[in-house]
Amino acid sequence: MLLALVLIAIGLVATVYGARLASERRRPVDLAGALLAAAGLALALLGVGRLLSERFF
């Protein structure tokens, strides 16, 4: 359960930081921010899957 909560927290922080980078910075950094936001969302969803099912991964 602790792993799931850590994954969710890190994923949400990465999503918010990536969205801020994507919306506030110039061209090369905004692309990296968009990728970071997507990866953070995927990480948070992995954490939710782990929270709902202990055998998720």
CA distance 31 to 48: 26
Note the pLDDT of residue 2.
94
* Number of alpha carbons in the 13 Å side-chain half-sphere of residue 23: 7
Note the pLDDT of residue 7.
97
- Sequential pLDDT tens for the chain (57 residues): 999 999 999 999 999 999 999 999 898 999 999 999 999 999 999 999 999 998 877
Q: Whole-prediction pTM value?
A: 0.89
Note the pLDDT of residue 17.
98
One DSSP character per residue, 1-57 reads: -HHHHHHHHHHHHHHHHHHHHHHHS-HHHHHHHHHHHHHHHHHHHHHHHHHH-TT--
